[in-house]
Amino acid sequence: MIKEHELDKLIICKKCHTLHEKVLIEAHEKAFCSECNVLLYLDDKHMLDKMLALVITASISLFIAFQFTIVSINIQGMEKSLTLMALFMVLAEHQQYVVGIMFLFLIFIFPIAIIFSTFLLLFFMKIQKAGYLTKRLLILLAHLKPWSMVDIFFISLLVAMVKLFDIANIEIGIAFIAFIFTLVLDMILTKGLNFHELWEMHSKIYGQINER
């Protein structure tokens, strides 16, 4: 019988299914299969930096998406520029409560929670501090991940726009583009969040004792 901790040290080649024993690799090094030369794994620290850069870019574009005009509407010759928050208020005024609540959760709460907690997690893992907090963040993110449904964000945004169409003429603003950009980044980010690797990295950084 192979014990679980011994299993962690083994890796199977995705192509030829040869079993390899994992060895420690240095920064920017890669491990290849000895049979078919396929990439098995690469240096973790590099991944942390790339993800951190991605999450910072996503925060900036999310900020632009919230701060600037998402749509300009024309009501009886009056031009009005709306931010995401103002768009939400318009939905509430027109008694679009179901769309409004969907909008609030999928567009405000989940993306912000995911981007903010991913940033904190990667930042503290990078500076190798707050082992207990990062452990909690990993658990939180595992719960939030299923809620990062980019396609649903986009559909709910379109629904909100269509609902507004019968009251006004709509012109798309800079925040709309920033918002779509954020969604794409968010999708790449959540796809890239490999919890198995993150937990492994966590125990490598903080050791077995997590209260540090």
Contact region for Zn ion (CB under 5 A) — 25-33, 67-75, 177-185, 194-202? 25-33
The one among 12, 23, 36, 155 contacting Zn ion by CB under 5 A: 36
Q: Does 14 bind Zn ion (CB under 5 A)?
A: no
Contact region for Zn ion (CB under 5 A) — 32-40, 108-116, 154-162, 187-195? 32-40
State how far the alpha carbon of 95 is from the alpha carbons of 82, 83, 105, 165, 192, in Å: 18, 19, 17, 15, 38
Q: Count the helices and strands in the chain (H runs, E runs).
A: 9, 7
Contact region for Zn ion (CB under 5 A) — 38-46, 56-64, 124-132, 158-166? 38-46
Contact region for Zn ion (CB under 5 A) — 7-15, 43-51, 109-117, 192-200? 7-15
Buried b (16+ CB within 10 A) or exposed e, 85-117: eebbebbeeeebeebbebbeebbeebbebbbeb
Strand partners, 19: 12
Q: Does 16 bind Zn ion (CB under 5 A)?
A: yes
Closest CB to Zn ion among residues 20, 145: 20
Q: Does 12 bind Zn ion (CB under 5 A)?
A: no
The least CB distance from residue 196 to Zn ion, in Å, is 20
The least CB distance from residue 6 to Zn ion, in Å, is 21
Where do we find the tokens 């870019």? Answer: 57
| Residue 172, helix vs strand vs coil | strand
| CB-CB neighbours of 193 under 10 Å | 20
The residues of the shown chain that bind Zn ion, judged by CB under 5 A, are: 13, 15-16, 18, 33, 35-36, 38
